[in-house]
Chains A and B, each alone.
Chain A
Amino acid sequence: MPARETLIALRQRFGSAIERADLAGEGRLHLFVERASLGAVCRHLALDLGARFITTIGADDRPYSGRFLVVHNFAFDREHWIASVATQPPADDPRVESICGAVPAAAWAEREMRDLVGIVPEGHRYLKRLVLPDGWPDGVHPLRKDVAWNFSPPGFDEGREFGFGEPPEGCIVVPFGPFHPTLDEPAHFRLYVEGEQVRGCEYRGFMAHRGIEKLAESVMTYNEIPLLAERICGICGCVHSVAYVQAVESAAALQPPPRAEYLRTIMLEIERLQSHLLAVGLACHIVGFDTLFMQCFRIREPVMRVAEEITGNRKTYALCVVGGVRWDIGAALRAKLLGVLERLEAEWRAVADAVGGDRNLRRRTVGVGIAGPALARDTALVGPVARAAGVAIDCRRDHPYGAYARVDFNVVTADGGDAWSRLVVRMTEVFESIRIIRQCLAQMEDGPLGLGIPDELPVGRWGLSSVEAPRGESHHFVITGEGNRPRRWRVRAPTYQNLQGVPAMIKDQQLADMTISLGSIDPCFSCTDRLETVDLRSGAARTWSQPELERLARAAARRLTP
């Protein structure tokens, strides 16, 4: 059912509980509901209408409306629109009903809302700290507007520890991370292992926050933020910068020129190529197959070089400004790009054929880290993880942006839901990306690269954008603000959602499969940990001597290993 009809049906069902509705065009519906009915409306959307949960956003709107703001975003993928269900808790009573019972996928987003904005989701089944460090004092919520971006709270308690649960009967605790060869990023999976089988796990992450959202709201400006956004992730930077500027353009009703849209699409697909080639190589490395790892990286190298020639850098393209792009692809670069694609396609075809018949590799990946369609729906998994489980969602087709509506491509799915299926999905998507880039290069016409923006952007407007990153849907939400910067910017990266499915994926599997299960969701922790960090030390500098550091490291290692 399209958005307008759904709105009418919702009005009939919920009546005056819906205070205000905004059909903002381009498949966007913004609903403002009474606080008491938030849970009911969300349950109706998720369970009765089958919407997919995207994320929850908490915001401190007190300087403007005197109240807080809670927004739940849902996607109607087959009908091509996104609904935002919002409510405004009063400033003296920041509580809302948790929707976790009906929408288990909202578990992390609500915990984050509680940590950073101080809005309590009542009825949440696991309300431990998610984002803030263990020693952070209670009652200080960094994303509130009365907390400065560089505020160091007094009363940071170094001795306070995260309260992990008890391991189940007969299990030993195997700490996985934050230091582990395969896990290049800091996170802690506390595995409960019986013999060689993993029986359960607890996750503690968010160890490397950078305060990106707070920086954007306090000190950056609209056109500086894309440069910050592309550093959210070490591989999919372009995705975040495109998603951000698209959200701002959607809020300010700006339409970038067609050539800019084609260029954004081309660079996004180039990024998908290099990300998938890396992911396949990394999966092989994790199972000890270094030769294929080297070959994947060798085949990937020309893609990096051509990106460097187009944008000036192998990975941080610095591509977007609000209203357009900064780099162009002239005739020479176009020819070079086509040559690279041709060679890539031939070599990748050879590798894909060889890997398809490789029983040795299949033995390590088939039946490992299974995420079936039920888990994919409950935890709202996205990207190749969902598509490998047979759930055919892809933002490029479901919520088209850039030039995707003008090109032809397939959404690749598989059936197994295991690490092997994800590998196959990624390998096949490489060919689809090559197809898309060729079509864009053929269709692209000459024209301006950006808009002339005559006035400052309007204030208080909502914009959102869902972009298909190589790992899944990357969702950005922006509320425009004063001072040439947004009032609120929320980033929900795909790994943020996919990590929530990992405990179920590794349960009752072998310990040796832990790394490939984790590696097969192609995790990008830097996408996940981009929220809040404030200088913890009070600014006083202290140099540590080597014996002191050694003592500290040894004590920490002893605490981690039982």
Chain B
Amino acid sequence: MTDGLLRAAVGVPLNAAAALLVAPLFQGAMRRLTAIVQSRRGPPIRQAYFDLLKLLGKEDIESGESGVMQRFAAYLAFACTLALTSLVPMGFPAPLGAGADAVALIYLLTLAGMCTLLAGLAAGSTYSLLGVSREMMAMVALEPLFVVALVVGALHRRSLRLDAVFGGSVYDVGGFPWSGLVMLAVMALSFQAFVQRAPFDIAEAETELMDGPLMEYSGPKLALFKYAQMVRLVVHAALFVAIFAPWGSGLGAPLGWLLFWAKVSLLVLLVALVAATHARYRIDQAIRYFAGLLAAAAVALALAACGH
């Protein structure tokens, strides 16, 4: 018992600190890769840190329809993503993994997504409300995919506990892991949408909606949101690796830890590459795409229920 408590007491702040430290680095690396593809030099990799520091140093203004909700949404977004870091393995098992189950993870992820909606409602302008409606449609179509991924793993391991679901549970069947592979394909094809990068950065389309839900944000509150978005990228990547590419996690530290972060880095760079080479889709085109993926996920669920 105390062992678990000790693990939590050390692991939670450690995970959070690691995520906070590493997220802007990934952002900088993504911007650098994008610049290379675009024949530019691009900003230095440390630039994301500078951006956040600059925003934090600006005047903290409230604007939009509801200043209170605006503030609340920013704080909640940051808090949710920090909470997520303690549920996600980052080379070591998740510090709170034994005490939480998949449902808590799904709730927290959805809550983090809701914060963007709250932000848009707090602004209350036509463009931000349009962004909110797009974001809502995207969430409704996307969240079920992740739920199915977790449920497939849970079905195989007969438990919703997180430490059971992580670690390759999707492939944990007697014969050929059909449902696991189908879910791998589905998640790989929708990963770009989960992290809201092109071609699925529809809610905050700069050239169409002037940044949609976040349009009234500036200064420190914007810094919180931006930081939350960066950390979410790391969290999603870590989740993907933990669930679908867990090979090598059995190796002891530091090799297992290094391998994990190598896989996450690869995934992040792949995200940047896809984002740099695609045009943004329209919301109706995106929804149709997600609907197709949802059908495939339903097939995977059926397969998992039958034991494949």
Residues of A within 8 A of B (CB): 172-175, 180-182, 196, 284-291, 294-295, 298, 360-361, 363-364, 510-515, 561-562
Contacts and interface: CB of A to CB of B under 8 A. Distances in A.
B51 interface: no
A175 B130 CA distance: 12
B284 A291 contact: no
Interface residues of B, number: 27
Interface string B94-138: 000000000000000000000000000000011100100000000
B282 A181 contact: no
B60 interface: no
B126 A174 contact: yes
Contact of B205 (A196, A288, A294, A298): A288
Residue from A286, A290, A294 having most chain B Cβ neighbours under 10 A: A290
Given A175-B126, A295-B38, A561-B126, A182 B279 contact: no
A348 to B, nearest CB: 15
Nearest to B207: A182
Ranked nearest first, the 10 interchain pairs of A and B with the lowest CB-CB distance are A288-B280, A289-B279, A294-B38, A287-B279, A561-B125, A512-B282, A182-B207, A291-B276, A361-B279, A291-B38
B281 A363 contact: yes
Nearest to B40: A294
A360 B284 contact: no
B163 interface: no
A298 B281 CA distance: 25
Contacts of B68: none
Given A182-B207, A291-B276, A364 B282 contact: yes
Contact of A295 (B39, B130, B279, B282): B39
Nearest to B210: A181
B245 interface: no
Of the candidates B199, B208, B277, B280, the one having the most CB atoms from chain A within 10 angstroms of its own CB is B208
A510 B285 CA distance: 11
Contact of B280 (A287, A298, A514): A287
B198 interface: yes
Contacts of A562: 126
Nearest to B277: A291
Interface string B186-211: 00000000000011010001111010
A181 B206 CA distance: 7
A288 B40 CA distance: 17
Interface of B: 34, 37-40, 125-127, 130, 198-199, 201, 205-208, 210, 276-285
Contacts of B279: 284, 287-289, 360-361, 363-364
Given A288-B199, A561-B125, A561-B126, A515 B278 contact: no
Contacts of B284: 196, 510
Nearest to B285: A363
A294 B40 CA distance: 8
Given A291-B34, A361-B279, A364-B280, 12 more contacts: A180-B210, A182-B208, A196-B283, A288-B278, A288-B279, A294-B40, A298-B39, A360-B199, A511-B208, A512-B208, A515-B207, A515-B208
A294 B276 CA distance: 11
Nearest to B39: A298
Contact of A290 (B38, B125, B130, B210): B38
Contacts of B278: 288-289, 360
A68 to B, nearest CB: 44
Nearest to A514: B208
Nearest to A364: B279
Contacts of B127: 174, 561
Given A360-B199, A364-B279, A286 B285 contact: no
Nearest to A182: B207
A419 to B, nearest CB: 12
A464 to B, nearest CB: 39
A360 B210 CA distance: 22
Contacts, number: 77
Listed residue (B126, B206, B207) with the most chain A CB atoms within 10 angstroms of its CB: B207
15 contacts: A172-B126, A181-B206, A288-B205, A289-B198, A289-B279, A294-B40, A295-B38, A360-B278, A364-B280, A511-B208, A512-B205, A513-B282, A514-B208, A561-B127, A562-B126
A476 B259 CA distance: 69
Contacts of A361: 279
Contacts of B39: 294-295, 298
A562 B198 CA distance: 30
A290 B206 CA distance: 12
Contacts of B206: 181, 288
Given A290-B38, A360-B279, A511 B207 contact: no
A286 B283 CA distance: 15
A284 B278 CA distance: 10
User: Which residue of B130, B282, B284 has the most chain A CB atoms within 10 A of its CB atom?
Assistant: B282
B274 to A, nearest CB: 11
B280 A181 contact: no
A181 B38 contact: no
A176 to B, nearest CB: 10
A350 to B, nearest CB: 13
In this complex, the member of B208, B279, B282 whose beta carbon has the largest number of chain A beta carbons within 10 angstroms is: B279
Nearest to A180: B210
A342 to B, nearest CB: 20
A182 B280 CA distance: 14
A17 B199 CA distance: 63
Contacts of A175: 126
A172 B276 CA distance: 34
Nearest to A292: B279
A287 to B, nearest CB: 4
A463 B39 CA distance: 48
Contacts of A295: 38-39
Contacts of B34: 290-291
Contact of B130 (A288, A363, A364, A511): A511
Nearest to A362: B279
Contacts of B280: 287-289, 364
A288 B126 contact: no
B149 to A, nearest CB: 26
B282 A510 contact: yes
A151 B127 CA distance: 40
Nearest to A172: B126
A22 B1 CA distance: 104
Nearest to B123: A561
Contacts of B199: 288, 360
A172 to B, nearest CB: 7
Nearest to A361: B279
Contacts of A510: 282, 284
B48 to A, nearest CB: 18
Contacts of B281: 360, 363-364
A288 B280 CA distance: 5
Contacts of B277: 291
Contacts of B283: 196, 512
A440 B127 CA distance: 50
A513 B208 CA distance: 9
A416 B199 CA distance: 25
A182 B199 CA distance: 18
Contact of B207 (A172, A181, A363): A181
A284 B40 CA distance: 17
A286 B206 CA distance: 9
A494 to B, nearest CB: 23
Contacts of A174: 126-127, 130
A390 B37 CA distance: 36
Contacts of A515: 207-208
Nearest to B202: A512
